């Protein structure tokens, strides 16, 4: 085990060194390029003045035409205040930019989405809301990113209500969606039913709170859900309930609604007879004692999602009886990675010109991801990022659901949405390959590193 930790640390250090060197070399991960031909200066008379005035006059008669006559239909903002960046904490908007650029790269490569990093300096959540709303005319959607809790809940709820484009917080919704997808297939494998299983969420931050609400929307009984935070099991008689009601009403509501048996105490008490453990807590192999798996029901399902080191090592979970184990890491089976979610979801809501996104859309997305794995096994409960066919399928399912819910401005069949998404994503990947073949995207100065 010690050797494994040393290898992981050495590999991480190599990634860090390369990231610094290559960031200096490329000076950013994304750039804006023209998509229209310029054969001579006369073409500017079409793309700019005087021809562009006709386009502006047309949009002025119907603002939704901006989705058809400009790039707004395929452009989103990645909006952050830099208050909770990866595992780095509150490092500010400037330091958040490299992470937002990386997110934009994934959006574009996997989903064909033009994503613009927009780190902002704001002093209050109300100011954040004001900035986001002022940006709405420029974008077809907003991806909130790396925002501290519980501010992130307020921002998502407020902006979803007050904006007429989809607003998504990936740390909440993306993680919750891929977690649900993994659990759907895990339950199928062990032969249990959604309405009967007992689910314990260890950690009550953005990801697990969103997941608890999503699981309820997917048919899990709220009475069979228990959340555990650093102070113990969430339940109505906790001494901090008044504080939660004022400062974190989303967590407060879960304390009232979940835990039908009114279990008290710590994680050990919560896990007695549980079918599923989903831990999104502190990184480290001893955060959760692997022996607690023995307290769980037959064929327990264990998701230990902390990065870079899970709360217990998968081998230890299995030694103590876990039937299925998932982590947030790519070097173990069953990586629960929200990169499987957000590129396809945004491809779908953009293609449908959706006015919003909600839990019903997310449940549909989770089932599409789960169903992509036609024969799930204990070692394969979700797709991998290399299975790129997932993304147009996911986009099609999401777009179709927004039509069903009356959220779509653009109506099409599931097959029509699928073809559109597949064409956009495949064309985008072809552009990448061609630019690399031609040397227009320069190779890394020291060649490709393998780890």
Active site residues: 48, 103
CA distance 297 to 294: 8
Helix (H) or strand (E) holding 111: helix 92-111
Structure tokens at 194: 């959604």
CA distance 441 to 108: 15
Structure tokens at 220: 């899990």
Report whether 363 contacts 214 (CB < 8 A). yes
Q: Is the dihedral of CA 337, 338, 342, 348 positive or negative?
A: positive
CA distance 413 to 416: 5
Report whether 329 contacts 308 (CB < 8 A). yes
The β-bridge relationship of strands 75-80 and 141-144 is: parallel
The β-bridge relationship of strands 167-169 and 232-233 is: unpaired
Q: Is the dihedral of CA 253, 256, 260, 264 positive or negative?
A: positive
Report whether 210 contacts 216 (CB < 8 A). no
């Amino acid at each position: 085990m010690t050797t494994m930790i040393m290898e992981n640390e050495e590999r991480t250090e190599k990634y860090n060194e390369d990231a610094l060197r290559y960031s200096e070399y490329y000076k950013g991960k994304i750039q804006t390029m023209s998509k229209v031909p310029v054969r001579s200066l006369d073409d500017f008379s079409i793309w700019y003045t005087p021809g562009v005035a006709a386009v502006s006059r047309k949009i002025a008669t119907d603002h939704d035409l901006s989705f058809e006559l400009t790039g707004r239909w395929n452009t989103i903002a990645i909006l952050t205040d830099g208050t909770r960046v990866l595992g780095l904490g509150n490092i500010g908007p400037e330091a958040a930019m490299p992470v937002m650029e990386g997110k934009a790269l994934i959006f574009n490569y996997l989903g064909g989405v033009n994503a613009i990093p927009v780190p902002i300096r704001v002093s209050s959540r109300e100011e954040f809301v004001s900035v986001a709303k002022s940006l709405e005319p420029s974008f077809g959607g907003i991806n909130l990113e790396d925002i501290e809790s519980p501010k992130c809940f307020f921002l998502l709820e407020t902006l979803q209500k007050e904006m007429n484009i989809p607003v998504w917080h990936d740390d909440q919704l993306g993680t919750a969606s891929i977690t649900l997808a993994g659990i759907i297939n895990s339950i199928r494998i062990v032969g249990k039913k959604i309405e009967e299983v007992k689910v314990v969420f260890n950690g009550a931050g953005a990801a697990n709170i969103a997941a608890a609400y999503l699981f309820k929307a997917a048919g899990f009984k709220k009475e069979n859900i228990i959340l555990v935070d650093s102070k113990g099991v969430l339940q109505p008689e906790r001494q901090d309930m008044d504080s939660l009601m004022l400062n974190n009403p989303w967590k407060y509501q879960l304390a009232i609604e979940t835990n039908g048996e009114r279990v008290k105490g710590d994680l050990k008490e919560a896990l007695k007879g549980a079918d599923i453990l989903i831990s999104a807590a502190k990184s480290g192999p001893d955060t959760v004692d692997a022996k607690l798996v023995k307290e769980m029901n037959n064929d327990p399902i264990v998701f230990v999602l902390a990065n870079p080191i899970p709360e217990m090592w998968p081998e230890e979970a299995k030694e103590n009886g876990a039937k299925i184990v998932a982590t947030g890491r790519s070097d173990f089976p069953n990586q629960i990675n929200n990169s499987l979610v957000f590129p396809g979801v945004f491809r779908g809501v953009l293609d449908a010109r959706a006015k919003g996104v909600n839990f019903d859309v997310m449940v549909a997305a989770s089932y599409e991801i789960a169903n992509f794995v036609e024969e799930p096994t204990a070692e394969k409960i979700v797709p991998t990022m290399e299975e790129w066919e997932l993304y147009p399928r996911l986009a099609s399912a999401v777009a179709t659901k927004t039509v069903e819910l009356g959220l779509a401005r653009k109506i099409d069949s599931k097959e029509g949405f699928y073809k559109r998404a597949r064409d956009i994503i495949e064309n985008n990947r072809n552009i990448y390959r061609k630019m690399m073949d031609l040397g227009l995207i320069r190779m890394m100065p020291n060649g490709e590193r393998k780890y």
